[in-house]
Amino acid sequence: MSQDALLVIDVQRDFLTGGSLAVPQGEEVIPVINRLGKKFAEIALTQDWHPAGHISFASTHGKQAFVETVEAAYGTQALWPDHTIQESAGAELSPDLELPHAGMVLRKGFRRDIDSYSAFLENDHTTSTGLAGYFRDKGVTNLYLCGLAWDYCVGFSALDGKQFGFNITVITDAVRGIDPQSMTEMTKRWQAAGVSTVTSETLLHR
């Protein structure tokens, strides 16, 4: 299974209960991911990693998180509470993750004026994070995605990963989302793009 890799998206304190941008039931993905991790030799994690005053923070613009947006150079940017600030406790990967053999932690969203939901491309849909090249170098062709959040960082990572030519499978019970309506919309986009889904149960007993 050396052509397979597990890609664990943004399992960080700020996205878990008590965090500044908590994803409902976000922590429920952790035991599932720990079980999955034992089956994969190749594992990469992403870490959302914003500077203070980031373009995606509502506070930067004196606007309201979740409802207002701003027009960035690359299009409309949603606004969030301050989250995953570089070097802050909230930016730390969950201490409950048990993935000691993970070879890569990819930081994204670290430039003030551009966000990056996707692990592969920043929100301008042009600037590469380098992760596709990392997996290609390793001969990985099949990516299994898990983590947070379904409708944003997992969602766009799946779509972009597909664009880069990887076979993409989302492990549905190892993902939680922010908003039910945008989760439904993202799921439709996955289907249209040829992104596969599987449960951890099926994958682990395959």
122 binds Zn ion (CB under 5 A): no
Name which of 19 and 37 has its Cβ closer to Zn ion: 19
Respond yes or no: is residue 10 known to be catalytic.
Answer: yes
Residues binding Zn ion: number (CB under 5 A): 1
Q: Which residues contact 4 (CB under 8 A, 6 or more apart)?
A: 40, 42, 140, 142, 143, 144
Min dist CB 167 to ligand VGL, Å, is 22
Which member of 14, 82, 153, 162 is catalytic? Answer: 153
Respond yes or no: is residue 63 known to be catalytic.
Answer: no
* DSSP structural state of residue 123: T
48 binds Zn ion (CB under 5 A): yes
Min dist CB 137 to ligand VGL, Å, is 25
d(Cα 173, Cα 154) in Å, to the nearest integer? 13
Q: Which residues contact 152 (CB under 8 A, 6 or more apart)?
A: 117, 178, 182
Question: Is residue 78 within a helix (H) or strand (E), and if so which, with residue range?
Answer: strand 75-78
First-to-last C-alpha distance (Å) of the chain: 12
Question: Which residues contribute to the site for ligand VGL (CB under 6 A)?
Answer: 10, 15, 48, 80, 148-149, 152-153
d(Cα 114, Cα 124) in Å, to the nearest integer? 7
Name which of 99 and 148 has its Cβ closer to ligand VGL: 148
Respond yes or no: is residue 146 known to be catalytic.
Answer: no
Min dist CB 15 to ligand VGL, Å, is 6
Indicate which residues carry an active-site annotation. Answer: 10, 108, 153
